[in-house]
Structure 1
């Protein structure tokens, strides 16, 4: 005897097998139960009565379960299901059991144990064979596993849920629902927000009530924090850097690989992997979770890391660390640290630290510290501490130079303990900088900018005489210098400059021009926090076409001549001069 005690349903437009219904029957015939399921789900069953034992008596109690789960409970694996339009076709499972089958299938749902909710985008994988799958939008999964291993362990991972390991002892096709517990542990951080103060009737001291909140903690290593003088800007840059670093980790992954890297925190290891593209690899959908000893990528590859050697025809992308040698036809992209040799014909990007040699014909970028040699054809950028050399044909950028040197046309560092060598070097915090206004026997007015370090700095200078009689129109020059701190506000300078001289304004572009080479020594005395005065002698050489013919009657240089005064046939003049300057020091 059987009776129907309750029937309810709430279905939506979706896959028939995923429609959720509630049904409770006791000792009913199978055909009667199937009709009830049809009515609840809004579809029809199609089956051969000779195959399905429709007169058998069944009982079931299902609350808000999918049709697939209910059918699995009714038929116990003896029937398989197929969807076609508005029909669910029931077929006898005619597959014969092999004596030693090569593979078997597991299928089922990933379920929130606390709420009963089906969990989409959960990662299910076997760590030895790297077989893996991801639960669909209904929480359903299906994975094919080999029967040969003596022990098969299925790993289930989902972001914000506690992972689970399931030992599979039955090497047969099995319906296996899996439940996961939510990970309720959150980082508790302290933040003082709008402190509330109270005072009682006895006028006792106010009691501060601190406020607490749950928040998502961002872990930032000390070697990648970007320092600035402004705390709000520092925090903003830190958060931005971490977001870029996080996005970088999944930028080269397929959709399934990105889900796996988000869910799976375990590290898998393989001796060798090969790939054609990041999503066509011997490590399959788990590429982003595997560290390889050797990695060979025809066009591009994607992995968690490399321990010995990685070669890519175009690109190599590693989420974690790289050790050994990494070679790429175009670019290398590493989400964490590199130790060894890294080469790319165009671009190397490392979000962590580098120890070794990093070489690119175009650009190198390192987000952390660097120890070794960073060498690029155009430019190097390093956001941490430099212990070694930065060499490029265009520019170098380093946050802090602790040891070694920067060598490039343009160098920038936030601070430096050594000397940068180039055509223009700027050290923001502890560099040598002077803006100078001076006068000498050749130009009555000079403006000069000096930048670099005390041991070696660059000089940019412009001089004018305007329309003063028997004087050149002006000059523009470049040079190098060095400074020594004598103590108690005194400093010694030695500068060498080469200047292009315009003899007169009318013939600026004509052959009537000259070159001035000058060695200047000077003593600087600090007169205030930002100002100083300087003075000293100079050794000068003026050379050019027809200087003697043009200026033998002019008093061009009223000073101490070397090698004789200007004459009709002379084109080179030497003399000893003197310079007086006012300097604006350090920060401008």
Structure 2
């Protein structure tokens, strides 16, 4: 045997061994994949009896109870009340579901759910590795419809193991995927709305096999297609059309990652796939997009989150969340949550949320919510289209039903609110009264009372009949109904009066009063009242002494006085 032939044989043996190692590693990965899949819900062996004219709802309920998971799907896809007859079955669950619903549906699974989606079409892909230079691999190929052989545009193509790269196919179905630090085996997945997901595995021509770093994945079921972050004005404005298409293709699928750093939604450590990644810690210099937050997210400008936030979210301008927020959300301008809030929301200008399950909304200007099982605090306005616990606003509060207190600098509006405090209150099922009366100081006034079944506000204006100094007076106060019967009402009021001269010049003399108002109905809408009262009146003329004088009836004009008094009048009840 010649020396050269011996060396050639040795090289051939080494080559065969290397190829065998790759093949064995590939088989090992497939076996591991099959073993993992076999533990999943869809790959379970099931034994299901025959069903005769049974609703799909009953079959789903039986499977859920027996196999300990839930089904999740768009209610428009499957009519649960449809009656079916289906033979007994032994085999894997996914094949039974296909037998039950048909080939036009696809199935995915989470830790607790089996997700059903409509996927009547199939796709095919031809791909190759064009280069592997500078520790990078370029995957390119074409996507086509397996039935019509036509190119499929805007299909999402992504690396499936670690979700490090993704792209969309062009109008010719062509795609290029640039993967940094590739492994020996590259798993590529393709997703497109109304198409069944497709996967391929490519082997790189390398000499050693590295361990695969597989990233944990999950799914989020979108039950209301009209309430997504991309249907919101700001979410639509700050995201590209390509991101919206990718989100539509991938549905609720997302991957987990510990850290994200972004300059803008298009320039991120997760690249084009960033809007499908849930991060533990995220820093967005100008703005960023993600599938969710389980930790902390910071942005100099804005954060756009497709699904949930569990933790803390800060933005210099705007936070937009398409799902739920559990924790703290703060923004210099506004916060938008399309589903529920359990925690605290703080905004500089406005907060908007569908449902506040528990917690607090605090804002400089406006809080908006459909239903708030918590408290709203706003500098200008609070609005809840349903229930709310408490509302405090410098201007206006508006709600359907308030279970706690409403405090407004100007106006409270509600169908039902027992404890409103404001200049005006317009409560549909509350108090609305107009009264005229005269008191111990010969002040003749017209007062309007408005509020809830318990508390109300009073505002009034009147004139003095024969006072040499005062001509007019304005009153504001709060009251409470202590007793209400068909014939009698007992109330208590605390009010303050400001006095004016004959040219409406303000006189710096105040009168603070507490009075008990018993009222008797003389007709269905008319009450007659006589209210004893206790007052503190400041001196009208220059005080002769700084000591406060106590009198049984009326004030002393030269002394600050605690004194008794009373008012009589008529009230019209709306």
Query: Are the aligned partners of 1:454 and 1:484 in contact in 2 as well (CA < 8 Å)?
Result: no
Q: C-alpha offsets along residues 480-528 of structure 1, whole Å, 9 cap, x if unaligned?
A: 2222344456442211111212242x3x2265x6433222222345678
Instruction: Report the equivalent of 2:384.
Output: 398
Query: In structure 2, how many angstroms separate the alpha carbons of the residues matched to 1:565 and 1:485?
Result: 28
Q: Write the mapping of 1:72-221 to structure 2, written as runs, cut at 5 A.
A: 102-127=135-160, 128-145=162-179, 148-159=182-193, 161-171=194-204, 219-220=223-224
Instruction: Report the equivalent of 1:52.
Output: none
Q: C-alpha offsets along residues 58-86 of structure 1, whole Å, 9 cap, x if unaligned?
A: xxxxxxxxxxxxxxx9xx99xxxxxxxxx
Change (3 A) 1:372 1:544: same
Change (3 A) 1:527 1:399: farther
Instruction: Report the equivalent of 1:421.
Output: 407
Instruction: Report the equivalent of 1:36.
Output: none
Instruction: Report the equivalent of 2:481.
Output: 483
Matched, 1:520 2:515: yes
Query: In structure 2, how many angstroms separate the alpha carbons of the residues matched to 1:567 and 1:341?
Result: 57
Instruction: Report the equivalent of 2:271.
Output: 284
Query: In structure 2, how many angstroms separate the alpha carbons of the residues matched to 1:322 and 1:529?
Result: 55
Give the 3-state SS of the residue equivalent to 1:417 in structure 2: strand
Change (3 A) 1:463 1:220: farther
Query: In structure 2, how many angstroms separate the alpha carbons of the residues matched to 1:527 and 1:279?
Result: 74
Count of matched residue pairs:
410
C-alpha deviation, 1:447, in angstroms: 2.9
Query: Are the aligned partners of 1:446 and 1:463 in contact in 2 as well (CA < 8 Å)?
Result: yes
C-alpha deviation, 1:282, in angstroms: 0.8
Q: Which runs of 5+ in 1 are unaligned?
A: 1-72, 78-92, 173-217, 222-238, 550-560
Query: In structure 2, how many angstroms separate the alpha carbons of the residues matched to 1:450 and 1:303?
Result: 48
C-alpha deviation, 1:371, in angstroms: 0.7
Q: Write the mapping of 1:165-564 to structure 2, written as runs, cut at 5 A.
A: 165-171=198-204, 219-220=223-224, 245-265=231-251, 266-387=253-374, 389-401=375-387, 403=389, 405-410=390-395, 411-424=397-410, 426-431=412-417, 432-441=430-439, 442-451=442-451, 453-464=452-463, 468-470=465-467, 472-488=470-486, 490-504=488-502, 506=503, 508-509=504-505, 511=507, 514-524=509-519, 534-543=529-538, 545-546=540-541, 562=551
C-alpha deviation, 1:274, in angstroms: 0.9
Give the 3-state SS of the residue equivalent to 1:288 in structure 2: helix
TM-score where L is the length of structure 1: 0.61
Give the 3-state SS of the residue equivalent to 2:245 in structure 1: helix
Query: Are the aligned partners of 2:302 and 2:318 in contact in 1 as well (CA < 8 Å)?
Result: yes
C-alpha deviation, 1:530, in angstroms: 6.8
Instruction: Report the equivalent of 1:201.
Output: none
Q: C-alpha offsets along residues 248-284 of structure 1, whole Å, 9 cap, x if unaligned?
A: 5443223322221222211222111111122111111
Give the 3-state SS of the residue equivalent to 1:444 in structure 2: strand
Q: C-alpha offsets along residues 369-427 of structure 1, whole Å, 9 cap, x if unaligned?
A: 2411222344433221323x323444333334454x32333433221122223434524
Query: Are the aligned partners of 1:386 and 1:398 in contact in 2 as well (CA < 8 Å)?
Result: no
Q: C-alpha offsets along residues 160-181 of structure 1, whole Å, 9 cap, x if unaligned?
A: x223222223437xxxxxxxxx
Instruction: Report the equivalent of 1:56.
Output: none
Query: Are the aligned partners of 2:445 and 2:460 in contact in 1 as well (CA < 8 Å)?
Result: no
In terms of Rg, which structure is larger?
1
Query: In structure 1, how many angstroms separate the alpha carbons of the residues matched to 2:488 and 2:556?
Result: 41
C-alpha deviation, 1:323, in angstroms: 0.6
Q: CA RMSD in A?
A: 3.6
Instruction: Report the equivalent of 1:576.
Output: 565
Query: In structure 1, how many angstroms separate the alpha carbons of the residues matched to 2:288 and 2:139?
Result: 30
Q: Which runs of 5+ in 2 are unaligned?
A: 1-125, 206-221, 418-429, 545-549
C-alpha deviation, 1:568, in angstroms: 6.7
Query: Are the aligned partners of 2:324 and 2:337 in contact in 1 as well (CA < 8 Å)?
Result: yes
Query: In structure 2, how many angstroms separate the alpha carbons of the residues matched to 1:427 and 1:390?
Result: 14
Change (3 A) 1:138 1:581: farther
Change (3 A) 1:580 1:373: same
Give the 3-state SS of the residue equivalent to 1:285 in structure 2: helix
Query: Are the aligned partners of 1:315 and 1:331 in contact in 2 as well (CA < 8 Å)?
Result: yes
Query: Are the aligned partners of 1:548 and 1:567 in contact in 2 as well (CA < 8 Å)?
Result: no
C-alpha deviation, 1:135, in angstroms: 1.6
TM-score where L is the length of structure 2: 0.62
Q: Write the mapping of 1:19-34 to structure 2, written as runs, cut at 5 A.
A: none
Query: In structure 2, how many angstroms separate the alpha carbons of the residues matched to 1:577 and 1:280?
Result: 75
C-alpha deviation, 1:367, in angstroms: 2.2
Give the 3-state SS of the residue equivalent to 1:429 in structure 2: strand
Give the 3-state SS of the residue equivalent to 1:353 in structure 2: strand
Query: In structure 1, how many angstroms separate the alpha carbons of the residues matched to 2:180 and 2:560?
Result: 92
